[in-house]
Amino acid sequence: MRPTLEHGDLVLVRRTERASVGDVVVCKDPKVDGEFLIKRIGSDRSDGDIWLTSDAGKGFKDSSFFGFLAASDVVGVAKWTLWPRVRRL
């Protein structure tokens, strides 16, 4: 399966939109302070935690590596790629 995003893609992120299952989101990396991840929300729990999945397949850091993540760690929802080509996510 081909990843949704490639290294170097320029992404438009909407910080004010509430994220839901299936959205590609930017979130704080739970293992590395000051770093961010771009992942897809695979599922959520009623207590406000989310499960993040990697579109790139196995071997990439996602919730199978660090577990559930607090929904409050989501910075925004990735809506469009602006470069190298404009497309909706």
Q: Where are the domains of the chain?
A: 10-84
pLDDT of residue 84: 92
Q: Among residues 20, 19, 1, 8, which one has the least CA distance to residue 81?
A: 8
CB 74 within 8 A of CB 14: no
pLDDT digits (tens, 9 = 90+) for 4-35: 898 899 999 999 999 999 999 999 999 999 99
pLDDT at 58 over 90: no
Segment (H or E) for 70: strand 69-70
Query: pTM value?
Result: 0.91
Fold that domain 10-84 belongs to in CATH: Umud Fragment, subunit A (2.10.109)
Q: What share of the chain has pLDDT > 90, as a percent?
A: 82
Q: Minimal CA–CA distance to 56: which of 81, 38, 70?
A: 38
Round to whole Å and give the CA distance between 45 and 16.
21
- 55: nearest Cα among 3, 6, 9: 3
